[in-house]
Structures are given as C-alpha cells and as structure tokens.
Structure 1
Amino acid sequence: MFIHPIKNDIDTLPMSKFQWIIITICFLLYVVDGYDFMVMAYVASAVSGELALNGTQVGTLISAGIIGMTVGSLCIAPLGDKLGRRKLVLISAFICGMSMVAATFAHSFNQLAFTRFIAGIGIGGIQISCMVLTAEFSAKKVRGFNLALLSAGYGLGATIGGVLAGVFIEHHSWRHAFMFGGVSTLILFLVAYIYIPESIDYLLHKQPKNALAKINVVLAKFKRNLINELPIITVTEQQQGTIRQLFTARYFAQTICLWVAMFFLLYGFYFVMGWTPKIMAQSGLSPQAGVQIGMWVSLGSILGSLTLGLLTTRFKIFHIQTVFLLCVALTIFVFVNMTHNLGFLPVISVVLGFFLNGCMAGIYTISALVYDSEVRSTGVGFATGLGRFGGISSPIIAGYFLDHGISPLSLYGYYLFIFILAAIAIVILTKLYYSKNDPQLAKQLIKS
C-alpha cells in the first residue's frame, strides 16, 4: 500500500486550523443528521392526529427513514470512491435537506412516507461521507476522538430534536419541525460547498482532472509544502473501490468479521434504544418512568461517545471496543436484576447508554480504519448498510418473542449474549487487522 509523504504529514503533524474547520462542519452535519432522523419519532403523535394514521402507519413512517438510511449506505456511499468524498457530502446533504422541506407539505401518509424514505437516503449518505472525510483529514493521534465526536454530535442532534419538536408542536405545528431541519441541512450544504475540499486521499489515488492543482490548494490552506507531481498509480489501483474489492485476499476475512460485529451491535443497539421504555413499563413501572429511563440512556450515550474518543488518544480502538462491548453485556445483566430499585435505575441507565453508544462510536471508527482510502467509502457503507438489517430486524424479532410468552425482562437479559458475540468478532478482527498492519503486535496478540 503506497503512502505519499503528504498523507504521512496529515497522519503525524499537528492539526491545522483548516483541518479543524473541516471536522467542525462534519460534526455539525452529524448534529442535523441526528435531528432529521429522530424528529419523526418526536412528532409521531401530532402527525397521527392530523393525518388520522393508525399505529402501523406511524411505525412505517419511522421505519421508512431507517430503510432509506440502509439504501443510502449500500447504494449512495460507494459513490464516494467513484465521484469523491466532497461530491458525496454535497449530494447527500442536498437530498436530505430538500426532502425534509418537502415533508412539511405532505398531506397524506404516502407523501410523508416517501419524503422520509428519501430523507433517510440522504441521512445515510451524510453519515458515511462525513465519517470518511473526518478519518482522512484527521491526524492519527486524534482520529479516533474526531470520529467518536461525530457520534456524540448525532446524539446531540437527536436530543435537540426532542426539545425543539415539543416547542414547534406547542406554538406552531409538526410541519415547522421538519422545515427547521430541512433549512438547517441546506444551510450546512452551502457551508460545505464553500469550505469542504476534496479528500487528499481520493485525489492521490483516483487522480481526477486537475487533481494536482486541487491538492496544492488544500496543502496551502494546511500551510504545508506544495508538491510538483502526482504519484504513479497503476490502472488496478485506480479501479479499486468496487464491492468486489472487499472480498480480495487483503480484506475478505476482515470484511466478514466487521459485518458480523456491526450486525450484532446494531441488532442489540436498536433493541435497547427502541424497547427499553416499553419493556420497563410492561415489567411494572409506569409509562412515564419507562420514558424517563429511555432519556437517561440517551444522556449516557453522548458521554460514552466522547469518553471513547478520549480513550483512543491513549489506547488502541480495537481493545477499547472489546471492553465496551463486554461492559454493555455486564450492564444489561445488572440492569435486569435491579429493576426493583427505582433509585438505582437512572444510574444504571446512564451507564448502559454510556457503554452502548461508546460501542457505536467505536465500530464506526474501526470500520473507517479497516479499509484503505481507495475502498474506504464502499467498505464503510456496506458494513453500515448490512448492519442496519440487524437494526431493522431486531425490534420485529423482539416483538415476536414477547407475543409468544417470553417475559420482558428475560428477553432483555438474553440480549446480553448478542453483545458478547459482537465482542468475539472484534477480537478476531483485531488479530486480522494487526497481522496485516503491525505483524509484531499480531504475534503478541496471538500468544495472549
């Protein structure tokens, strides 16, 4: 794998002001991404009342966004390896912003479902493109922290959505909540158009028209030395970035392990985040107490993302991820056995959210590290997209078991094994990754 000196400089030298501007824009895009996705859940009751929707239709509106995100990850994200990271950010933000605005004019279930599906495509594209850009414009020392910061931004946006949705519904209507998200996304689209450059990784390996001039413009903003010529890249290297590349000898085993880990993690994540309030209510707590527990879990999730990011500046992300996954399993065990202690539940709920969302930040960080730049957008997109099938299926399967007599708390307890399976996949992925990138460390891991 060829590493150009300027890419090595980005990895090793302190971050420039312009690099931090790029990371900040990506963070803000994640904030509006979290808002745009979660706002449907917050305004569901108001939408249901105005459009006379039944429960299945409301659930479909929420699921439409997840399905769109899955399509965005599988179909839109790979364009980042063909058209460029910058273009993918702009296309995704424009799609998301326009569909959010269009949702404000929806007057039927079908119209709103369609706009939510299209918005989901844009949301999924934003997540992958900003993740890849952040990884490629970050110094190695703070790369893990910056990627974790994106996850915290998503949680922050979701929290802001809950607050603003209530204000809009009380003083205006649910339509204003969608309009706010759409306008905010389109404003950031313009900001990204002005400030976000094309990835140097992409320009070095794909070498599109005027690649050298574009690289030197970015280097000048970074206050780094300019280059006189592009590296010689073989035709094979220029054509990389296809789905088939994920199954070459270099990536095959890592790809499978990453997909398994992502699937089980998202399977467990969406179960905990989606079913916790209802299961707690079915176990004897009041509906209000169940909702409050869900809010405590969300609060812990923001803290978990930031903490994981800080830990990556001192420890290897693969090791942190394994510990966090096992801590989620342990926390679920404690959680299930402490539901009778109402005073302790908020604390354990925050801890659960802390480790759970820390795992989400960690898996996205790992997925961006596993693949080299020429196939990174495709690899991250497919891992995320296929993992979301776990998120889509988990609530349905949980509902099936509950309908067939499994007690809510027992089902909750069984899910701790899902996170143990994800941890095993990460352990295997760790050894595979370092066997290719750090053979000396790989020998130590194998002995341990």
Structure 2
Amino acid sequence: MSNRDIVDVKAWIDSRPISPKQWLILALCFIIIFFDGFDAAVMGFLAPALIESWHISRPEMGPILGAAMFGVALGALIAGPWSDKYGRKKILLLAILCFACFSLASAFARSPTEMALLRFLTGLGLGAVMPNCVTLLAEYMPERRRSLAIAIMYGGFNIGSGMSGFIAAALLPHFGWRSVLIFGGAFPLLLLPVLLYKLPESAMYMVVNKVSREKIAATLNRLGGSFTADSAFVLAAPVMQKKARVLQLFSGGYARGTLILWLTYFMGLFVIYLLNGWLPTILRAGGVSLERAAIVAGLFQLGGAIGGLLVGALMDRLPAKYVIALFYLIGCLCLLSQGVWGFAPVALAVLVFVSGLCINGAQNGLQAFSPVFYPTEMRATGVSWMHGIGRSGAILSSSLGGLLLGIFPGQATIFIILSLPALLAALSIMQHRSVRASRQIKGAELNDLPALSRTLNNR
C-alpha cells in the first residue's frame, strides 16, 4: 500500500476549504440548537399562564421549572458514552425525538406533577442534544475555523431562547399555553426526516469504530473527496485502552484536563444562570425600575450572543485557553466594579452588557475547546460529562439565588460574590494542559507502511 492510499481523515479535513456539505452540517446543527434553546427557555415565559390556569403558587411552579434542568444534566451524562459507542448521529436523532415527543406530551399535562415529570423527560433529550452537536460539528470542521463554527452554532441556542419569548407572546393570547409547547415539539419532529437523510455520521467516529472503507469513502466524497474502497482511512491520534468510557476521562493523562474543564464550566454556568434567573430581581433590590431592570437583563443575553462569535474568532487565531481566561477575567472585573462602586444606570447597563459578552462568550469558547482536548473515541463522553457536571453549577445557582438575595438584600454584595466564580473560572482554565504523546496507530507507526497496511481497515 502506497502513501497516497493512506488517508489521515483529520489532516484531510484540515487541509481543505470548507465544502457546501460542511456548511450544511453547520446549518442543520444551528437549527437543532435553535429548538434546543427554545425548549430550554420556554417554560419561563409560560409560568404565569400555568400559575393562572392551575391556580398554583409560585413555589409550586418551582419543581416544574427545575425538573427540566435535572433532566438536562442527567441526559448529558448518559448521552456521551452512548454516542462514543453507537455513533453521534444515532444518539443525536434519538435525543431530538425524545425532547420533541415529550414537549408535545407536556402540552397535554393535566397537573403540576404530570408537567414536572414530562419536563424532566424532555430535559433528558435536551441534555443529549448540545454535546452531540458540538462533537459532530467539531469533527467535520477544519481546525482553523472550528472555534468560530461552533460559536455560530451555539448562537442558535441564544436566538432560540430569545425567540421563545416572542413566539409565546404571539401564541398565548389566541391559542393558550398548550400551543407554545406544541410548536416547540412539532417542528423538531418535522425536521427529523431531513436530518436522517442529510446529516452524516462523523467520519472520524467511523474510522475509530472500523466501519467499512466504502462507507467512509462515500461520506468523504460528499465533502469533495475522490476516494475508493481501496483507500485506507486513519487518524494520527492516540488509541485509548479499552476501559469504561467514563473512566477513560481519567486515564492516559486526561484526568487533570478533565477536572479543569468540569470546574471551569461549573463556575461559568453558576454565574450565568444566577444572573439569567435573578438579575432583574437583583437590580430591583438596588432601586432600578422594573422596566429598566428588564432591559438591562436583556443586555446580558445580547452580549452573550456577540461574545460567542468574538471568542470563537479569536480562538482560531490565538492560544485558545488564554482567550477564554481573558474573557472570564474581564467579566469578573465588570461584576466586581459594579459591586464596589455602584455605577449609575447607564454605566450599569454597559457593565452588564460587557460582562454578558465576556462570561457567556468564554463559556461558548469552552464548547469549542473541550472537543479538541479529547481523542475521537472518547470525545462525546468528555464533552457530555463536562456539560452534565457543569449543569450542577446552574442548578446550584438557581437554587441559591433567592437565598443570597435574602442574606444580602443589596445588589452590590451580590455582584462582588459573583465575581469570585468568574475569577476561579479564569484561573482554572489557565492551568489546562494538552495531552501530548506520540503513539502508534493500530500497532504501527505511520512511517512503517508495510506494517500499517496490514493493520488498517482490513476487511
């Protein structure tokens, strides 16, 4: 077998311009994440209607809002190992089917208990969607544009979350709260046949799992290749030992990086979800009018959408972890400044916008940073467990928000407290180190062509 018969799939993707098929993959993942964001945020807009319809109190609404978040965390933990075992596409489509069907079922819930259960099941699907989209897109985008592409995809989540409010406002007065949930479930179901036909399985996953060369060649040919069944496809990357997939995250030198990613993601989500859920209340405690508080809180989300693109573009040009750390640090300084000096409303709005741009942007950067750290055979597990463990930060901050406001009624102390996890996130990601090791591929060195020919893709 000659050199030209051996194709390193990652190197081939990195060396080529982005093809129309790769742009299509990005567009499809963007649409998936749009509905993920829609469904994740929609219950906040439906809460007043549910309280009125079922005559329940605000505390009784809490379990309904929190149930999906627990489901998201558990879904992420489960989906990663399954995706590395059964394929990114299969688990992603099952996740979409799960959250779409249970979103539809939620529209017919008859009590708060039923709604909480259905929202938990919806969350299982939602939790599996994001890390699988991140992993699939990361394995199809060239390294020079990967971070920006993932940031664009993640923008679908922010847009979907924001659009859920407008869609709810349009549907609620005429069709009631059930129509909004039907909308959020029906459209992803209609999208499934398109995804089944147009969305490819990861070529890198297929190489690692010894899928036939014909299928790999056909997939890469749709990206502009000209391969045949005689081509041998490889990955110039380490092959992990056969262990339980979660345990792989703590072997081969990956333990340190895994724990740092978990801690950084946890701290970032702690800040983001506390501000998402409690910022209007925090501002009201500081004497800001209700209307202005709503506007300033919206600026935090708007800043995040812009920050994700900015961080992604910079990560493709500069050392990624330093870009992420810098943005966390700037966000920390914005929060700390408002807490220490208590600026006037206009300056407050600017600081909140910049803090949203930086902290949300850095968090989006981790979406692109984490899949690069792990090899293909454990990539989905690594990304998913970062999401799942990190979600505990979101759950904790959502629960602690009211307690902190009770202990520290003024907004100044809350901003100072929130600057601490942002600082920890910056310091944590700075300690991250890549795993560098020269290993054999399937028992042979790349320059040992005769041995390599005997070991690669024998069918």
Tell me whether the two structures share a fold, i.e. TM-score over 0.5.
yes
Aligned partner of 1:358: which letter? G
Shift of 1:346: 2.6
Counting only pairs closer than 5 Å after superposition, residues 76-95 of structure 1 correspond to structure 2 as 76-95=79-98
Q: Secondary structure at the match of 1:383?
A: helix
Counting only pairs closer than 5 Å after superposition, residues 132-147 of structure 1 correspond to structure 2 as 132-147=135-150
Flag the 1:414–1:232 CA change in 2: closer, same or farther, 3 A. Answer: closer
User: 2:331 maps to which residue?
Assistant: 328
2:27 and 2:244 map into 1 onto residues whose CA distance is 27
Shift of 1:345: 2.8
The superposition leaves residues 183-228 of structure 1 with CA deviations (integer Å, 9 ceiling, x where unpaired) of 12112222211111110111000124xx322212211211213152
Q: Secondary structure at the match of 2:222?
A: helix
Shift of 1:320: 0.8
1:126 and 1:158 map into 2 onto residues whose CA distance is 15
Flag the 1:126–1:19 CA change in 2: closer, same or farther, 3 A. Answer: same
1:434 and 1:77 map into 2 onto residues whose CA distance is 20
Q: Secondary structure at the match of 1:315?
A: coil
Counting only pairs closer than 5 Å after superposition, residues 11-90 of structure 1 correspond to structure 2 as 11-90=14-93
Contact 1:12 1:141 in 2 (8 A): no
Shift of 1:249: 3.1
User: 1:444 maps to which residue?
Assistant: none
Counting only pairs closer than 5 Å after superposition, residues 360-399 of structure 1 correspond to structure 2 as 360-399=363-402
User: 2:218 maps to which residue?
Assistant: 217
Q: Secondary structure at the match of 1:332?
A: helix
Counting only pairs closer than 5 Å after superposition, residues 17-416 of structure 1 correspond to structure 2 as 17-208=20-211, 211-227=212-228, 228-230=230-232, 237=240, 239=242, 242-337=245-340, 339-405=342-408, 407-416=410-419
2:381 and 2:86 map into 1 onto residues whose CA distance is 12
Contact 2:270 2:396 in 1 (8 A): yes
The superposition leaves residues 268-294 of structure 1 with CA deviations (integer Å, 9 ceiling, x where unpaired) of 221122221110011111222222211
Shift of 1:414: 1.7
The superposition leaves residues 79-122 of structure 1 with CA deviations (integer Å, 9 ceiling, x where unpaired) of 11010001011000100111111111111111211121111111
Counting only pairs closer than 5 Å after superposition, residues 409-448 of structure 1 correspond to structure 2 as 409-429=412-432, 432-433=433-434
Shift of 1:45: 0.3
2:204 and 2:435 map into 1 onto residues whose CA distance is 22
Gaps of 5+ in 1: 438-448
Aligned partner of 1:114: which letter? L
Shift of 1:406: 5.8
Aligned partner of 1:139: which letter? P
Aligned partner of 2:276: which letter? M
Gaps of 5+ in 2: 1-5, 439-459
Aligned partner of 1:244: which letter? L
What's the C-alpha RMSD, in Å, of the aligned pairs? 2.2
Flag the 1:231–1:9 CA change in 2: closer, same or farther, 3 A. Answer: closer
Aligned partner of 1:313: which letter? D
1:248 and 1:368 map into 2 onto residues whose CA distance is 17
User: 2:448 maps to which residue?
Assistant: none
Flag the 1:232–1:146 CA change in 2: closer, same or farther, 3 A. Answer: closer
1:88 and 1:339 map into 2 onto residues whose CA distance is 48
Aligned partner of 1:23: which letter? L
Shift of 1:424: 1.1
1:173 and 1:145 map into 2 onto residues whose CA distance is 39
2:292 and 2:136 map into 1 onto residues whose CA distance is 40
Contact 2:95 2:126 in 1 (8 A): yes
User: 2:457 maps to which residue?
Assistant: none
Q: Secondary structure at the match of 1:343?
A: helix
2:255 and 2:89 map into 1 onto residues whose CA distance is 28
Flag the 1:397–1:21 CA change in 2: closer, same or farther, 3 A. Answer: same
2:436 and 2:25 map into 1 onto residues whose CA distance is 32
- What percent of counterpart residues are identical? 28
2:163 and 2:56 map into 1 onto residues whose CA distance is 26
1:426 and 1:436 map into 2 onto residues whose CA distance is 21
1:39 and 1:163 map into 2 onto residues whose CA distance is 10
User: 1:440 maps to which residue?
Assistant: none
Q: Secondary structure at the match of 1:15?
A: coil
Contact 2:339 2:411 in 1 (8 A): no
Q: Secondary structure at the match of 2:345?
A: coil
TM-score (norm 1): 0.91
Aligned partner of 1:103: which letter? S
1:388 and 1:275 map into 2 onto residues whose CA distance is 17
Aligned partner of 1:163: which letter? F
User: 2:455 maps to which residue?
Assistant: none
The superposition leaves residues 367-392 of structure 1 with CA deviations (integer Å, 9 ceiling, x where unpaired) of 11111111000011111101111111
Flag the 1:436–1:365 CA change in 2: closer, same or farther, 3 A. Answer: farther
1:150 and 1:104 map into 2 onto residues whose CA distance is 28
1:15 and 1:115 map into 2 onto residues whose CA distance is 40
2:145 and 2:109 map into 1 onto residues whose CA distance is 43
Aligned partner of 2:178: which letter? R
Contact 1:265 1:418 in 2 (8 A): yes
Contact 2:9 2:204 in 1 (8 A): no
2:346 and 2:331 map into 1 onto residues whose CA distance is 20
